A = this chain, B = another copy of it.
Amino acid sequence: MKKLINNPETVVHESLEGMALAYQNLLKVNFDPDFIYRLDAPIINKVALISGGGSGHEPLHGGFVGQGMLDAACPGAIFTSPTPDQMLEAAKTVNSGEGVLYIVKNYSGDVMNFEMAVELAMSEGILVSNILIDDDVAVKDSLYTQGRRGVGTTLIAEKLCGAAAETGYNLQQLATLCSQVNLNGRSMGMALTSCTIPAKGSPTFELSPQEIEMGIGIHGEPGREKINLKSADEITEMLALSIIEDQGYTRRVQQWNIESETWSEIELIDPPLKNGDSILALVNGLGGTPLSELYIVYRKLNEICQKKGLKIVRNLVGNYITSLEMQGCSITLVKMDDELIKLWDSPVKTPALRWGI
């Protein structure tokens, strides 16, 4: 295993130390329990946004902590959920009194731990809500996940809700917005190569020299199928059409009712994309793929969207939700309206996304 690390056991800790040093003007890192938080938190009169999940997907989530996006991020061990005490301490640190929204990618460990954190936070008198992101159209029910997995739409939701929180949305409004963005977003990814978790020391899965995996999960979970290597245009078309032609899916989600302080199961359905829709397009690298290749994917994606009558009104091309050094990419399309575009364009100042400030 060739990596720029000192010890598989200290990768996350040392990486967080480096991040704290590099972004002293933006954020702080609390250790034991580990969480990254805005230097200026808590922000008076603002609902706090917290996300988190296994490490190894950088810049997600820590790279999105800062003005106009997250107030805190809770990193777990690599590809492993953070624990409820991290989420609780983060909430206590960044809550201004207006409450906390947890944005959670749909993986069973994360879901369970964030649900526990919700109850712990409530028991400490913190107003809290949790919203699941489950936007990956590749497969339903997979390793680590019941239902669809949460991927690229997560960071779009973090940006949009972060902007909304700055303008004064209350917790209920933010939870509604976050849930809507999730329903508006769909993603699918593919891998050219595997990745190696430091503590394991060998590749998570195997692909032969001519094989790629369509619909891969960000932890290397099996996707739809292993196929022979195809051209970038063919791969892009397979991903894009899987997203565009997805007919939506009905999920039953446990959501915390802030007022009654009870859980309720709600049913959510995402409507399919349709001709004339405005969309945000994210072409995301999985960590080891050159930017130049992501542009080739974006070129074809743009052509396909045009043909399908989808108007790309905003885009993002780069490494945003990665799987260590995995080569490959994912595509995320999020239906946008004027309100969402305005929130997208709002100033943001984080390590990984920054404009207007």
Contacts and interface: CB of A to CB of B under 8 A. Distances in A.
Interface of A: 2-7, 11-12, 14-19, 21-22, 55-56, 58-59, 63, 192-193, 209, 212, 229, 231-233, 235, 287-299, 302, 315, 317, 319, 322, 324-325, 327-329, 349, 354-357
A319 B292 CA distance: 12
Given A3-B192, A4-B296, A5-B296, A291 B327 contact: no
Contacts of A63: 291
Nearest to A302: B21
A305 B123 CA distance: 46
Number of identical monomers bound together in the oligomeric complex: 2
A322 B22 contact: no
22 contacts: A2-B193, A3-B232, A4-B232, A5-B232, A6-B232, A7-B231, A14-B296, A15-B293, A15-B295, A15-B296, A15-B299, A16-B295, A18-B294, A18-B296, A18-B299, A18-B302, A22-B315, A58-B292, A288-B327, A290-B322, A290-B325, A355-B357
A339 B289 CA distance: 37
Contacts of A212: 2
Contacts of A289: 4, 325
Contact of A6 (B296, B315, B349, B357): B296
Given A22-B315, A233-B6, A327-B2, A11 B354 contact: no
Given A2-B212, A12-B292, A354-B354, 15 more contacts: A4-B328, A5-B231, A6-B296, A11-B292, A11-B296, A15-B292, A15-B293, A18-B295, A18-B317, A22-B298, A55-B292, A63-B291, A287-B288, A289-B325, A325-B327
Interface of chain A: mostly helix, strand, loop or mixed: mixed
A322 B318 CA distance: 14
A73 B204 CA distance: 39
Interface centre among A5, A212, A290 (most CB of B within 10 A): A290
A322 B56 CA distance: 20
A212 to B, nearest CB: 7
A291 B14 CA distance: 12
A77 to B, nearest CB: 12
Contacts of A288: 287-288, 325, 327
